[in-house]
Structures are given as C-alpha cells and as structure tokens.
Amino acid sequence: MSELRTVVVTGASGDIGVSLVRRCLEQGAAVLAQYRSRPQRLAELTGFDDRLVLVRADLATEQGPGELAAAVPGDWPGVDLLVNCVGGARPVPIEELSAAEFSACMRSNVEAPFAVLRALLGQLADAGGSVVNLSSVAGFTGGAFGPHYAAAKAAVIGLTRSAARELGPRGIRVNCVAPGPVDSEMTDSLSASALQGLLATTALGRVVRPGEIADSILSLSRATATTGQTVVVDGGRYLH
C-alpha cells in the first residue's frame, strides 16, 4: 500500500505519537489517535478536524482495545497502518523494581499492542494493511531504564516476528522500529549522567528527534516486501 488512507496510532499523545499523527495528517491520511492522558497535546493539531478522530481508552485494561476497535469510523475501507506507540516506563534499578511494576510494564508495552493488533485484524486484512510496533534498543542492549523495560521491548520484537509469519498469508505485514534515546519526556526522566553515558557511546552523539522516528515508521510502512524486521533508529548507539 503506497498511499496511506487510514491510520491508527496508539499512545498518540506521547512525543513520537504526536509527531507521527501530524505527519500522517499532513500527508492526507485520516487518523484515529488513541490516548489515555494529555489530550491537550493532540488538541493542538488544528486544521484537520475532518480527518482526525480522538479516542480516549486505557489499553492496559481488558476493555480498552475493544473500545478502540469500535471507534474506527464505519466508512473507513479498513486500516492501512496500525502503529503501536503505546508503552514506556520510568527508570528503576533492579533492587527497587517491584513485581507489580514489572507486570504493569509488560501490560502497557507488550500486552496492549498485542490486544490492539488482534482487535484490528479484520480491518487490517480488509485494507492489506501493515503494523509497526515500537520497541527500543533497550531490547538489545539492556539500557538505562531497567530490566522491566528491556524485557518488555525485547518481547515486542518477538511478537513482531511471530505475527509477521502468521499474518503474512493474510496480506498483513508486521514490522518494528527500535529507537534509541529520543528527545522526549521519557528520556528527560533519566539522570544527566545516565544520558551522557548513553550519548557517549552513540555515533552521532545526540538524541534522536521524534520526527525522525515518525519518518522511519512511515518509510517502513511503505516497504511492501519487508515484514518481520526491526529497524534500529538510534543515532548509531547499537551497531550491528
């Protein structure tokens, strides 16, 4: 699918989500943007009222993914692109990490994208659409946010590969983007020394801009022979 007509973005009020929604709208797509909090960040996207659908839902709950799927406009000919930006975590050292916080991180970063993908399978198949999940280089390197986040983002890569194999015969591609440190509220939660340590081993020596992640997502969504892949966008931190 070279032209994106309909796009669903989860976690749309985050830094990457807002940038992606804006780019999709500017390119003429209709966008359903899911958020749990901070709706004002999406309300700032003015001038697209006829193509932007805002849906408040908590995807970490059992009913949230179904609420999102039910909100897909009935006149859409399917979903061309689903981007799972939902997720995140706060940095916690292993000795301070509770089982409850570990489980909550897995719910928001792994279980929610899985549940949304499952809920939208029919619409994705109708459009011959694709899925892009957001992982992190932490899924490869461990990272500064702690074992809960690294484990969750590694699981997203596994989910992506498995879904790509199973859904390929139905015409659905599933890929993954793994950002490094991004200019975002989440990276801002790191200590200055931790961030400096990350950037010291990054080839470009800087954080990645949200718009650069959005551009990579859209490029991957149009790569019609690519599925099951994880594209690292981290300024040269994880070289492989």
Residue 179's pLDDT is: 93
Domains of the chain: 6-233 (3.40.50.720)
CB 36 within 8 A of CB 85: no
Residue 190's pLDDT is: 67
Q: Both tokens of residue 137? A: 């280089």
Q: How far is CA 68 from CA 19, 35, 65, 161, 216, in A?
A: 20, 10, 5, 24, 25
Q: Which residues of the chain have pLDDT under 70?
A: 1-2, 184, 186, 188-190, 240
CA 231 to chain centre: 13
Gap between the terminal Cα atoms of the chain:
29
Give the catalytic positions in this structure.
149
pTM for the whole structure? 0.92
Q: State phi, psi for 106 to the nearest 5 degrees.
A: -65, -40
Residue 240's pLDDT is: 67
Residue 1's pLDDT is: 46
Q: How far is CA 26 from CA 31, 59, 171, in A?
A: 11, 26, 26
Residues 116 and 84: their CA atoms lie apart, in Å, by 8
Q: Both tokens of residue 96? A: 């301070």
Q: What is the DSSP letter of 144?
A: S
Q: Which residues pair with 8 in a beta bridge?
A: 32, 82
Residue 184's pLDDT is: 67
Q: State phi, psi for 73 to the nearest 5 degrees.
A: -55, 140
Reading phi first (left if > 0) and then psi (alpha if -120 to 50, else beta), residue 45 is in beta
CB 31 within 8 A of CB 51: yes
Task: Encode pLDDT of 142-199 as tens digits.
Answer: 877 899 999 999 999 999 999 999 999 999 999 999 998 877 676 766 677 777 777 7
